[in-house]
Amino acid sequence: MKLSRVKVSVILPAYNAAGTIDRAIQSILKQKGVSLELLIGDDASTDETFTRMTAYKTDCRVQLFRFRKNQGVALMRNRLIAKAKGRYISACDADDMLLEGNLRKLSQKLDAKPSFGVAYADSLIVSPEGKRSVNRRFINEQSWELLGGGFADGGTLIRRSLIKKIGGYRPKFKYLEDCDLFVRLAEQTRFYYLRGKPLYCQYQTAGSLSDQSRRNLSKTSKIILNDAIQRRYGVQFKAQ
């Protein structure tokens, strides 16, 4: 497949994800109705993650990258995006899944609505005990309500030009780097919410970055909030 024909570039950062990465990769490669490429980055894993990745190297849609030194998820995502050729970027975590129709439905919305830079749907949440629930993620399309909130990027489609415009993910954040990205995107564009079936499946895994201590997440949230207020209003503010 010619890279010039790629519509969606899916980035898949992975660190010690040998037990789940096959599920994630297969969910992406099974997407129908849209031309895609999959960029997978192994962030210096110490388990069999890279070995699992190499099983897909014969698929012309797949590009594999292996970092010898741990980069952190924000920097690794930026490096994968720098290699991307698609009009749109989608991110999938190595322990999650894209559900059927994700890339086709969301890309169709952005194709039809050039004034929107982000398209997303609800997520299916699976607890460590296997309990399932739906995360309704509606926000106002003007998007500034993201300030002070949390918006994960798994399964969300973003125009690559917009990610480039705002400088990508900020490596200073070890946690909530995706929430910070969307707060900054909200200052540049409108978000399209696709009602209906969930299009992403998030597995709540003990020990993952999404399962960090409240203290770490609270501290990072305050930094994101303070930075946004400084950008938007030009005033110094310190959230307590």
**pLDDT-based confidence at residue 213 (cuts at 50, 70, 90):** very low
Domain annotation for the chain: domains and CATH numbers? 3-210 (3.90.550.10)
Q: Are 75 and 81 in contact (CB under 8 A)?
A: no
Summarised one tens digit per residue, pLDDT across range 67-95 is: 999 999 999 999 999 999 999 999 999 99
Instruction: Report d(CA 37, CA 29) in Å as an integer.
Output: 9
Q: Is the pLDDT of residue 212 over 80?
A: no
Q: Is the pLDDT of residue 215 over 90?
A: no
Q: Is the pLDDT of residue 142 over 60?
A: no
* Per-chain mean pLDDT for the chain: 88
Summarised one tens digit per residue, pLDDT across range 110-138 is: 999 999 999 999 999 999 999 999 987 76
**Sign of the dihedral through C-alpha 162, 163, 165, 166:** positive
Longest CA pairwise span in the chain (Å): 53
